[in-house]
Structure 1
Amino acid sequence: MAGIPQHDGAPKTNGSSEPRSSPRTPTPRHRMKHDKSILALAVSARHIFAGTQGGEILVYSLDTYERKRTIEAHKGSVLGLSLSQDQALLFSSATDPIVNVWDTTSYVRRYTIWSTYDVGDIFCVAYSSYHKTVYLGAQNTSIQWYDLKEKDTRPRPALASHPSERKDKFFDSTGPGGVQTPRPHGESRLRDAVGGQSLEIAKQDIYQFAHFGYVYCMLLGRGILPESPEEEVLVSGGGDGRILAWRIDQSRGGAIAKLYELEDGREEGESIFSLIHDGSFLYSGRLEGEINVWDLETRQLVRSLKANTGDVLSLSIGGGLLFAGGISGYAQKFNQHYETVSTFKAHDGLMLASAFTMNDDKPLFVTGGNDNTIVLWNIEDCEEPAVVAKRSNNDLMVESLNQFVSFRTVSSLPKYRADCRRGASYLRSVFQNFGAVTEMINTSEPYNPIVFAKFRGNPATAASRKKILFYGHYDVIAAENEQGKWKHDPFTLTGEGGYLYGRGISDNKGPIMAAIYAAHELANEQALDADILFLIEGEEESGSRGFEQAIKAKKDLIGDIDWILLANSYWLDDHVPCLTYGLRGVIHATVQVESRHPDLHSGVDGSMLLDEPLKDLIMLLSQLTGSHGKVQIPGFYDPIIPLAEDEKQLYAHITETLLRSNPDLGDPEELAQSLMLRWREASLTIHRFHTSGPENSTIIPRLARASLSLRLVPNQESAEVARILTSFLNEQFAKLDSQNKLKVTIDHQAEPWLGDYNNEIFRTLESAIKSTWGPTFGRRRSSVHALKNIPDPLALSPISAPADSRPSPTTSNTLASGSVDADTGPDLDLDHNFMERKPLYIREGGSIPSIRFLEKEFGAPAAQLPVGQASDSAHLDNERLRLVNLYNAKCIFRKVFKELPTK
């Protein structure tokens, strides 16, 4: 074992709190959380099947890690799972005690199998695809089987023979006085464990007392008999500490006969909890970390390994590596020389199940435990030449994101200035590695630079190449996590439940990386017939400081632009892709009233003759809005464009789609009104107050200041609105006849944006969304009628509606929390209607300062592709991005970069 690094069970560190990185130690690829223990695992080419303590079988995609289905399979804990060789059938055993057989495509139960006798828990199940026979190992020490070839020739079992119909030793017993104990009522009916053919195991198909203890584990395999390597043999391990090999007699319906016992000379009683077979060797897991290695040719014990796992509850093998896991929660990895390669913490509790699989030529180790978690582990050091870890572009994209997210690119905090620079440099290196021409465009100090990159299209199309500009930002909102509200470190990308968690993953680092990889793939395939330019700034979250001046100074470098594309927003809910064609603009202002006198004491100096700054400020601000927030500034609403008929139809599509999956959102016209007031209506908000002096209740402050913002809509020019705001405040202040001084400061302003949703870029985006996301099932709970009439949005202003008839505002949180969870959606009791997944055309209430500027500066129309879902929590704790959204965004960008025509 010289030269092989040994670990004593705990992760090693290099003086920091982070474990020492090593390719020999598997790293978590993704985690899936549940609310119950994971007791059994089976992995197919595309799915993970997990049996739970609650009787469910969870089905996860190996591509996106999303839960595709929750099968209500058993009324007791699922203890065993096994796949047929062609992976078309899944066999589950439980404490019911029943074996169910599931179709892995439809998840319909094909067969349900039970024993003639009360067998207790069924710990394990195995299926011989060659013999078409199911084997089960039971608590009553028996091994039983059912030949599925005979399912249609045997008599149908009587209903009374079903385990649920048999007399219970407790509930059906007679108590004192001969009174029978009543059975409990209200037992819930399982949704999925219905239908299928009922099969009862015949009495002659039972090997009683196969072990002198519980039959914990079984496997079926070839190569176990050297003299007959093609013969399939059943191997079982039990609570008696014995390992038995069984011959299968096909002529007797798969009946078993004992071939031999693997003996190590010890006394019986040390349970065999797990078995795994590899070539001519068999591995068994026992108490206290003991792993026995058996040579099947000589039937001798050739090695005993000691693992730091506690009782070895699971064994897996693949890529020339042996994995063991047990009650300590640790997993241990051995090489082909039986040397420990690494020991790592897999679960916070017992590690109960494991599996090794190859997914798209990538080796994966899957574990489950009583911490209610399934973990997928990357394996980078497989020893078998045929098992070489291959990384797809999607894998590489996530790896790039992992590094990108690790940079604390918080533009609002000076202490992260160096991190912002490092993040920009890393992003530039990604472009450079993909062959793009790059340049760092400096902004005025101390603002962060802009990363410019250009992927040149095929030289043969130089004369006709379209030029597409992708705009994004690498800076993020602060995530100090001082109160521990994040589930994971905000700046460590973490995969869980089909999502990637990390600050900036949705806003805006994930969409940026998807666009970069889309351009790279096309260039690498020599299929890029456009010039794709990137402008990724580092100040968007701080108002795009210095962006306009820097772009104007480098306009010659950027050149002509045909189309502008960005991806810096979110869907309306968690299910329907969207396209954004409008954003509100914004003005941030500070209003300050200051007196010539210092802070005073209200008891000593307070009187009606004193002009108090805070009073003046409150009276002044009260003039800005009227009832229900209507802005009182003269001419404020005059430029707003009325609602056109074709845009009205967009709102009808939105409300019909949203109410289909969430009827609790209410009346469609009220929902449309609420959305329009957020998107098409200008608004004014007072954010906070600040006063001078000590914070006690007797001070008359000499200075009072308020921060406010105005959200603008298309046709309102920010400069003009800033002018009339300042003028109105000065006029109203003059009416107060105050001795104090007023100061109005415009801190930031951004123009509203309205795109042409009928132009080529929106049509190309819609086509790409429909082909990428494909058709879906609309979830209908009640029929929803299209909007009959939507009046002009100005007539919908809250001031015109009686207080008791005003609808509750539909916020982004309402839409996110009202979404049907993706995990449970397919299982809902709904009428499913096939429909095409057409994106919703939406506007947004927020602002992105640079869009309208870029349109004006380059004379090119812009469009926005929202990548994230409503529940992504951008700017909030636990920001996330669904993995399938990231993958599909890359596909959509590819199609748009390739198919968008020149203007």
Structure 2
Amino acid sequence: MSPAPVLTHRMRHDKSILALVISAEYIFAGTQGGEILVYCLETYERINVICAHRGSVLGVCLSKDQKLLFSSAGDRIVNVWDTHTFLQVYSIYSTYDVGDVFCVSHASSLQTVYLGAQNTSIQWYDLKEKDTRPEPKPASHPLFREDRFFDSPGPGGVRTPRPQSAEERPRHARGGQILEIDKQHIRQFAHYGYVYCMLVARGLLPDPDEEILISGGGDGTIKLWTLDRQAGGAINELYTLFDGRDEGESVLTIALDGTFLYSGRIDGEINVWDLETKQLVRSLRTRTGDVLTVAVGGDLLFGAGVSGVVEKFNRQYERIGRFTAHTGRILASGFTRYRGQPLLITGGNDNTLAVYDVRDCISTPSGSKVSSDEILVQYLKQFVSFRTVSSDLRYKADCRRGASWLRQIFKKFGAATEMIATENGYNPIIFAKFRGNPTISKVRKKILFYGHYDVIPAENEQGKWIADPFSLQGIDGYLYGRGTSDNKGPIMAAILAVADLAAEQALDSDIIFLIEGEEECGSRGFARAIEENKKLVGDVDWILLANSYWLDDHVPCLTYGLRGVIHATVSVESSHPDLHSGVDGSTLLDESLKDLIAVLAMLTGTHGSVQIPGFTDPILPLTEAEKKLYEDITLTLTRYNPSLGDAETLAQSLMRRWREASLTIHRIQTSGPENSTIIPRLARAALSIRLVPKQEASVVAQALISFLEDHFAKLESQNRLTVSIDHQAEPWLGDYNNEIFKTLEQAIVEVWGPLKSRRRSSLSISKHPTQPSNGYSSSKPSPTTSSTLANSSVTPPNEDEIYTPVENTSSFRKPLYIREGGSIPAIRFLEKVFGAPAAQLPCGQASDSAHLDNERLRLLNLKKSKEIFKKVFRDLPKK
């Protein structure tokens, strides 16, 4: 048995997938709800939902040039769609009550559409005659015709009025030319049963360019029909394939491979017909139940059906494998090669599409190389599988194994590597250096990329993840797994970008990687280890990070500022033990928790303003240039997310998060049992201060200690105050006008491409937002949190709109220049140590859920990030 194929991606919907067809760019999937889902083959993103029919979409096919998509459905209509604009071109119907239209095909040479119907007929329409035929009468259209069952009179001859909505077309099935099939273009009783399936084939007649129609029906026969060019594509029976049984089981699906035709029947049977000899070559028995779909590709035959199982057969018709692809029935399938990668795509009544890489199943591979993007996803999957949780000693060995594996990846692509040990046995730092090609440039620039391989815990004990957090899963265009966005995905994208340049002999820079394993714990041991190994790293011209996210899910960003942080613990301890409030409580007793609350209350005033003397003095005023950046941000965000409200209020909220220092009290803990009557001996609080540029962490930390000690002394308490500074990191402010930001912006514009033009409006922002008297309203603005931006990022399209690709526009997707409220301890430290400016490229979207359940990274963002890194590593000039 061959190995089971790799599940590359799964796309979810809320209705069964009944039919699918694959073009060079897209997967088109017809659903039980009358929609046609359009997925991008490169990223598996759903780029469109076409509301196509009022009944289930039962068949889809493409024209030979893939410019037209044909869909048939239970509403007795065939619709024709432009595969570029996704707009309806034609709507074709029969004046007969054909019932469900199970299948549709297109003869490109004749420009004729064929449909197979429930009433046993095959009908056709010659599109060359679309402008010469009489105008259809509205009353003959299926939407306006009376149904013999549903519209028949009830008791007493009373007819229930038809709902007004019954005559409305689906919102995207409008605007196309309506075409009525001529009564002469009908072959009644083409089969003595429903016409379930059909396809158009070439090369089976003496004239290799002549097309024929092949159909399968509920009578158990397969018929081949010639197409009469002179009679508008009329069909004439060429011959019938019949296996000799008195009553053949229904032919439910057919697929063609050269001159061999494969037909799926009820009870798990697949017949193999040689169309040259008209003989039944083999009859294969499967364990799929009724065979509802067959697909051929890569010298393999795939059959699937009721059981949800796919069975694989080789060229000798030997069963070589089986695997469960869906939890319900498999109703549709297709094979394609996308950029050399062989894919089997299946759809089922579990409301999903599944994409399988069947490269390992193919016995005679085409010899195509694995693409860089495929390698990127494969390595990321392995990277995510390591539980590199730095905060939990249980995973120390996993962290080491993950670090060793990453070092081997660097070696594989030609980097010189070392494992830099850190103090106190903390996780090691991986140093890797790719040397540029000296023949390209004698003076090589040196770019340092910083990242971290450690992650936040993800135990998933409550089952909140939709997949195992340490097993990468592709779902709906996203890669789910702990670390995909923070920070393993961006690291792998950067490594593969360098590997691509090296393979193309276009790497003219020295690219240095410093990947630490303690960032999620405050970069423990990082600074000392780097200072001790500064010579190993060498000179650096530029520093690049990718450890953050866009503001929403639509517009790329560049980060030029981060707040610093001070983490502190404030403790008040009594000399007495834990006491009972009823026995020992009195006004004479100095209680530790009362004292702690009293001093903490002095830290902040109205609206959270920090009361430490001189705390806000160093904060820089808002310049006109930076004000312009906030205008771009708010106008862009409110364009995509109108629910965010007023632009000025949004700007003020962002500035308070990014430009203002803040103080947060995180938690309070007390000694003694959890009993409501206890007076604790010890009370302890954890707090943090977020710093902004020009505030020195050491100065603010000392000011905090002095402030708390001074106010505690005023309490004249017999208790003891202790303030410990647990961690501190400097704020960072980059120069967004320097060469690294300019190069990043140009790379983003080139990689992300054009965007619809934006409408601008005026925005008034205070020049000094840190001072309420200089522009802030007296009322406190509602905070716009990262959660607010993430949750409002995915905006459903307008009901009357349909996605259309945008071309030939001068408006490009320029990045937003943003700051962030979070902290990365290493960034300012690296700037100081190496005397080089830094920049941060956010790779993920606002909805990535980093540090939360169901962390993810959009596959498109991963691939685009690799291309951006590649351009920056190539184009960034020497400082």
Pairwise TM-score range, normalised by the shorter structure: over 0.9
Letter in 1 for 2:535: D
Q: Does 1:635 align with 2:614?
A: yes
What SS does structure 1 have at the residue aligned with 2:736?
Answer: coil
**Does the Cα contact within 8 Å between 1:70 and 1:827 map onto a contact in 2?**
no
Q: Which of 426, 429, 434 is the matching residue for 2:413?
A: 434
- C-alpha distance in 1, partners of 2:235/2:498? 60
What letter corresponds to residue 541 of structure 1 in structure 2?
E
The alpha-carbon deviation at position 690 of structure 1 amounts to: 0.8
Unaligned runs of 5+ in 2: none
Match of 1:655?
634
TM-fit CA distance, 1:172: 3.3
User: Does 2:128 align with 1:149?
Assistant: yes
The more displaced of 381-390 and 809-818 is 381-390
The counterpart of 1:705, out of the listed 679, 684, 691, is 684
Verify: 1:876 aligned to 2:852, yes or no: yes
Alpha-carbon distance, 1:107 to partner:
1.3
Please name the residue that 2:117 is paired with.
Answer: 138
Q: CA-to-partner distance for each residue in 1:512-555, whole Å, 9 max, x for gaps?
A: 11111111111222211111100000000000000000000100
Q: CA 1:824–1:505 in structure 2 vs 1: closer, same or farther (change >3 Å)? A: farther
Partner of residue 820, structure 1: 794
Q: Offset at 1:485?
A: 0.4
Deviation at residue 459 of structure 1 after TM alignment: 1.7
Q: Deviation of residue 296 (structure 1)?
A: 2.1
Residue aligning to 1:867: 843
Question: Deviation at 1:445?
Answer: 2.6
Q: Is 1:807 aligned to residue 786 of structure 2?
A: no
Equivalent residue for 1:209? 189
Alignment partner for residue 520 of structure 1, among 493, 496, 499? Answer: 499
Matched, 1:669 2:652: no
From 157, 164, 173, give the equivalent of 1:193: 173
CA–CA separation in structure 1 for the residues paired with 2:877 and 2:799:
38
CA contact (8 A) 1:661 1:778 kept: no
Q: Which residue of 2 aligns with 1:336?
A: 315
The correspondence of residues 460-609 of structure 1 with structure 2, limited to 5 A, is: 460=439, 463-609=442-588
Partner of 2:816: 840
Q: 1:189 and 1:259, CA in 2 relative to 1: closer, same or farther beyond 3 A?
A: closer
- Specify whether residues 901 and 341 from structure 1 end up closer, same or farther in structure 2 by C-alpha distance, changes over 3 A only: same
Q: Structure 1 CA distance, aligned partners of 2:569 and 2:335?
A: 61
Distance 1:479 1:371 in 2: 28
Gaps of 5+ in 1: 6-22
TM-score, structure 1 as length reference: 0.94
Shift of 1:772: 1.1
CA contact (8 A) 1:677 1:797 kept: no
Give the superposition deviation at 1:24. 3.0
The one-letter amino acid paired with 2:589 is L
Deviation for aligned residue 1:389: 4.8
CA–CA distance in structure 2, aligned partners of residues 499 and 277 of structure 1:
34
In structure 1, C-alpha distance between the alignment counterparts of 2:104 and 2:321, rounded to whole Å: 31
The structure 2 residue matched to 1:375, chosen from 354, 368, 380, is 354
Alpha-carbon RMSD: 2.0
Match of 1:318 in 2: 297
Which residue does 1:300 correspond to in 2? 279
Deviations 1:826-867 (A, max 9, x none): 946999997321111100000000001000001111000000
Structure 1 residues 683-714: Cα deviation after superposition (integer angstroms, max 9, x where no partner) = 00000111111111111111111100000000
**Structure 1 counterpart of 2:202:** 222
Moved more, 105-114 or 312-321: 105-114
Residue 463 of structure 1: how far off its partner (Å): 4.5
Q: Structure 1 residues 829, 665: closer, same or farther in 2, change over 3 A? A: farther
Residue 228 of structure 2 corresponds to residue 249 of structure 1: yes
8 Å contact kept, 2:85–2:805: no
Map residues 362-441 of structure 1 onto 2, 5 A cutoff.
362-381=341-360, 383=362, 385=364, 387-441=366-420
The one-letter amino acid paired with 2:709 is: N
- After superposing the two structures, state which structure 1 stretch, 790-799 or 270-279, moved more: 790-799
Aligned residues: 876
- Measured against aligned partners, the alpha-carbon deviations of 1:274-320 in whole angstroms (never above 9, x if no partner) come to 11122232111111211111222332222211112111000000110
CA distance in 2, matches of 1:284, 1:723: 80
Query: Partner of 1:652: helix, strand, or coil?
Result: helix
How much does 1:265 deviate? 2.1
Query: CA–CA distance in 1 between the matches of 2:406 and 2:501?
Result: 19
Matched-pair contact (CA < 8 Å) for 2:274–2:281: yes
The aligned residue for residue 28 of structure 1 is: 7
Q: Secondary structure at the match of 1:445?
A: helix
SS in 1 for 2:281: strand
Cα separation, 1, equivalents of 2:797 and 2:155: 49
In structure 1, distance between residues paired with 2:774 and 2:473: 43
Residue 170 (structure 1) shift? 3.9
CA drift of 1:460 comes to 3.3
Change (3 A) 1:823 1:402: farther
Secondary structure at the aligned position of 2:535 is classed as helix
Query: Could you say if the C-alpha distance between residues 841 and 799 of structure 1 is closer, same or farther in structure 2, counting changes exceeding 3 Å?
Result: closer
Q: Measure how far apart 1:124 and its partner are.
A: 0.4
* Local SS of the residue matching 1:163: coil
User: 1:737 aligned to 698, 701, 716, which one?
Assistant: 716
**In the TM superposition, what is the alpha-carbon distance from 1:788 to its structure 2 partner?**
2.7
Amino acid at match of 2:66: Q
**Cα deviation code 1:733-785 (max 9, x no counterpart):** 11111111111111100000000111111111111111111111147xxx662
Q: How does 1:84-233 map onto structure 2 within 5 Å?
A: 84-187=63-166, 189-224=169-204, 231-233=210-212
> Using a 3 Å threshold, how does the CA distance of structure 1 residues 216 and 304 change in structure 2: closer, same or farther?
same
Paired residue type of 1:902: K
Q: Distance in 1 between matches of 2:800 and 2:475?
A: 20
* Deviation of 1:823 (Å): 8.2
Maintained 8 Å contact 1:24/1:380:
no
Aligned pair partner of 2:52 in 54, 73, 95: 73
Asked whether the equivalents of residues 544 and 841 of structure 2 are also in contact (C-alpha less than 8 Å), the reply is yes
Q: CA shift at 1:400, angstroms?
A: 0.8
Q: Which amino acid aligns with 2:122?
A: I
8 A contact 1:449–1:537 mirrored in 2: yes
The 1-side partners of 2:800 and 2:431 are apart by 43
Distance 1:170 1:533 in 2: 74
Does the 8 A contact of 1:581 with 1:757 survive in 2? yes
| CA drift at 1:191 | 2.2
Distance 1:594 1:448 in 2: 34
**TM-score, normalising length: structure 2:** 0.97
Deviation at 1:175, TM superposition (A): 2.5
Task: Quote the offset at 1:233 in angstroms.
Answer: 2.1
Partners of 1:150 and 1:403 lie apart in 2 by: 57
Distance 1:851 1:719 in 2: 17
Change (3 A) 1:721 1:86: same
Is 2:771 the counterpart of 1:795? yes
| Residue 334 of structure 2 is aligned to residue 358 of structure 1 | no
Instruction: Report the Cα offset of residue 186 of structure 1.
Output: 3.3
Local SS of the residue matching 2:632: helix
SS of aligned partner of 1:724: helix
Q: CA deviation at 1:458?
A: 1.5
Question: Which string of whole-angstrom CA distances, capped at 9 and with x for unpartnered residues, describes residues 48-101 of structure 1?
Answer: 111111111111111111112211111111000011111111110001110111
In structure 1, the residue matched to 2:735 is 756
Contact 2:308 2:329 in 1 (8 A): yes
